[in-house]
Amino acid sequence: MAKKIIIIGGGFAGMNVARNLKGDSFDVLLIDKNNYHQFQPLFYQVATAGLEPAAISFPLRKFFHGDKNIKIRIAEVLQIDAAQNFIETTIGKLEYDYLIIATGADTNFFGNKAMEEKALPMKSVSEAVFLRNRILQNFEDVLTAPEADKEGLMNIVVVGGGATGVEVSGALSDMRAYALPKDYPEIDFKQMNIYLIEAGEKTLAAMSAESSKKSKEYLEKLGVNIMLKTSVKDFDGKHVLLSDGKTINTSTVVWAAGIKGNVLPGLSPDTITKGNRIKVDRFNAIEGYKNIFAIGDLAWMSTPKYPNGHPQVGNVAVNQGKRLGQNLIALSKGKAMKEFEYKDLGSMATVGRKLAVVDLPFAKFQGFFAWLTWMFVHLMLLLGVKNKLFTLLNWAWSYIAFDQSLRLIIKPYQKKGL
């Protein structure tokens, strides 16, 4: 009888472990609260109206067409019962022989309750669409708002100088320069300020010194106000209070300052480490559990090369998923499993139109060629030929016409009484 494997999470890690378990050896159940895979690296383009949500989303069921041993269920996991080998979900109790947790990471507000309540995160397609709605609605409101309120509606504060913060700041600057003045000719966009707040000493601190320096130069060239060695203390919905005592008038704060693991109830607290990640061994088995594994952003694995855990990036999640799938097949055949070893293929970030920075193991470069490299890599990582083509056409049109995708304010429908 085939062993039952439950995979929780349809991100990079979950999809890749399932992809490697095709065949008759296992009965695989993939659970996610959404019926689609989300391509996180391009959330910021949805938020800034550069791409439509459908371009970076792919149906889970379509991905596994023809794979009879892989089933999909749309549900949320409520509890893990490791002693009895089952999970409690919104669709009932489900038993497993092996459990794989690939729930990824969520926004980390570092205990700042004001930011948690009022700042806008960007860790899902729906959050990116919400941010797009807010930005566009603000400019609709500027047209009729009292003069005293216009500054706060137009200013945007981005918190966090990592890749997400840099990319969204650059994209907002492109919107301000090329798209928004065409949509709103009555508004003087010289009055729109974009602030990037970073508590550290530089932007893109995880990348090379050259890339960090260039990213700052590019953003300043684009007119982004960069404030380093500065943190956000409070936000009341209209004013941001900074660590140096200064305030910024704004109704929109984009939070890109950190992430934390999505840990599910039921595991021993001893398995949780910094960043709310789960400690795993070199085979991604959770410490203290023989048949429960964690992969991707959620997993914290200490190796000689990465004693403080691997970076929480897509390439780690993809390769951990592949390795775990291969190891489970080896285990079913009585063969030895292989330890996970991460090979860093480099990192990159786009800063704006024709501007990007790329760090590869053998070279570091910035500018237009880096931008082309960034686009090629992200196109290849997108799931589905249609999504790749749609995204390429959008980028080509944006480059030629100095315009972005349609700037639509799409709000969720709510029917009274339901």
State yes or no: pLDDT of 271 exceeds 70: yes
Mean pLDDT lowest among 39-43, 93-97, 247-251: 39-43
Helix H or strand E encompassing 288: none
- 153, part of any domain: yes
Mean pLDDT of 277-301: 96
Mean pLDDT of 267-273: 95
Q: How confident is the model at residue 418 (pLDDT cuts 50, 70, 90)?
A: low
DSSP labels for 126-186?
Answer: HHHHHHHHHHHHHHHHHTTS-HHHHHHHH-EEEE--SHHHHHHHHHHHHIIIIIHHHH-TT
As a whole-number percent, the residues of the chain with pLDDT over 70 amount to 99
The pLDDT mean for the chain works out to 92
**Best-predicted range by mean pLDDT (23-37, 40-54, 146-160, 367-381):** 146-160
For residue 279, how many C-alpha atoms fall within 13 Å in the half-sphere facing its CB? 13
Q: Which of 221, 239, 257 is the last residue of a domain?
A: 257
- 239, part of any domain: yes
State yes or no: pLDDT of 402 exceeds 90: no
Q: How confident is the model at residue 390 (pLDDT cuts 50, 70, 90)?
A: confident
Is beta strand 3-8 parallel, antiparallel or unpaired with respect to 259-261?
A: unpaired
The residues facing 273 across adjacent strands are 277
pLDDT of residue 284: 97
Burial label for 272, CB within 10 Å (0-12, 13-18, 19+), is middle
pLDDT tens, position by position, 275-286 = 999 999 999 999
pLDDT tens, position by position, 175-207 = 999 999 999 999 999 999 999 999 999 999 999
State yes or no: pLDDT of 79 exceeds 70: yes
- 413, part of any domain: no
Look at residue 61 and give its three-state secondary structure: helix
Q: Which of 305, 332, 359 is the last residue of a domain?
A: 332
State yes or no: pLDDT of 343 exceeds 80: yes
Q: How confident is the model at residue 380 (pLDDT cuts 50, 70, 90)?
A: confident
| Domain shared by 181 and 317, yes or no | no
| Domain shared by 226 and 174, yes or no | yes
294: domain CATH number is 3.50.50.60
State yes or no: pLDDT of 351 exceeds 90: yes
- C-alpha distances in angstroms, 274 versus 143, 199, 269, 278? 46, 19, 12, 9
pLDDT of residue 25: 81
| Domain shared by 132 and 148, yes or no | yes
| Domain shared by 289 and 172, yes or no | no
pLDDT of residue 417: 67
Q: Which of 257, 288, 309 is the last residue of a domain?
A: 257
Mean pLDDT of 11-17: 94
- 89, part of any domain: yes
d(CA 214, CA 217): 5
Closest to 50 measured CA to CA, from 133, 171, 170, 135:
171
Q: For residue 267, give its domain range.
A: 3-33+75-107+259-332
pLDDT of residue 13: 95
Q: What is the DSSP letter of 417?
A: T
